[in-house]
Amino acid sequence: MDWRESVVLVTGGTGSFGQKFTQVLLRDHQPRKLIIFSRDELKQHEMRAAGLNHSCLRYFIGDIRDGDRLRRAMHGVDIVVHAAALKRVSACEYNPGEAVKTNVEGARNIVEAAIDCGVEKVLAISSDKAVNPVNLYGATKLCAEKLFIQGNAYSGAEGTRFSCTRYGNVVGSRGSVTTKFKRQRKTGKVTVTDKRMTRFWLTLERGVKFVVNCIEQMHGGEVFVPRIPSMKVMDLAEAIVPGCEIEYIGIRPGERLHEAMISVDEARHTVLAKDRYIIFPEFPWWTTDRWDDGESLPEGFEYTSDKNDQWLSLDELRKMAEED
């Protein structure tokens, strides 16, 4: 595919991912047009003021809950990247109906609008919390994944192709623990939920580049999971706030000690292909195509942050935190 000839729309375009995606796409790929779709006019203004005001950019106010507005925005669009979501775990628990309206019904609206408008490819950004979910946010993201993957069946063999990506914590995204540690560092005391906690970890730049590559490679129906390193929360604290007093506050409701990005059950229809795992759909009614490369995973495999074969050192964590 040629990005220079493509019209791209990103939902949630004013969020952490959306802004970095915009920067990377303008810098490396020069799309014919890039539409920033979001509901916050102030954040759109702030993006322009920060220098994201290229001639190919279009700032489009709208809500993914509004199917008609999505259809208007997707007219003539080739590629959609779906990053809009309500993602605060506690906010979703307290406002479950709102979480469902945005994360589930919004996903359905995108599927239907993309098919109606003849969009070529749609890639949705999912979450590790969709794996065996323990909170409502994770449940809505799992439901959204199912909607996108089976959207291929509605579009048919030659229609819109839908896939997802799924990854863990992103350095520097809104709500990142690195931001919290840096803020607390000024007081000389930081809070840690549990000293045993581990997390997958990647930079926003790498996450965006992974998404771009998945769009280029997708056939439709895959959930792409990057092979990324893990880190221990105590190592992160040592890297960012050495010498600070640590207060253990206990694991929060809806939180896990360790992240999971591929479950044991999913591993049976997953392959390892170089720098990523590819989860294939269990019900691929729309196609018989399969990826030619990739090796099957061993029986009982699961991809969790505590059983990872890649770990970040203190020096690597310090470097990533400095770049944030």
**For the chain, which residues score pLDDT lower than 50?**
none
Q: How confident is the model at residue 138, as a pLDDT? A: 96
HSE-CB for 313 with a 13 A CA cutoff = 3
The CATH number corresponding to 3-168+201-228+260-304 among 1.10.287.3610, 2.60.40.10, 3.40.50.720, 3.40.50.10490 equals 3.40.50.720
Q: How far apart are CA 122 and CA 81, in angstroms?
A: 6
Domain-wise residue ranges, the chain: 3-168+201-228+260-304
Question: Among residues 57, 66, 98, 102, which one has the least CA distance to residue 83?
Answer: 102
Q: How confident is the model at residue 38, as a pLDDT? A: 97
Q: How confident is the model at residue 324, as a pLDDT? A: 59
**Residue of 20, 87, 121, 129 with catalytic role:** 129
129 is catalytic: yes
Q: How confident is the model at residue 186, as a pLDDT? A: 82
Specify the DSSP class assigned to residue 311.
B
- Please state the separation of Cα 47 from the chain's center in Å: 20
Question: What pLDDT digit, counting tens, does each position of 56-78 carry?
Answer: 999 999 999 999 999 999 999 99
Name the residue type at position 274. Answer: K
Pairing type for strands 270-273 and 223-226 reads: unpaired
Give exposure, 217-230, as e/b (b: 16+ Cβ within 10 Å): ebbbbbbbbbbbbb
323, with CB counted inside 10 A (0-12, 13-18, 19+), is exposed
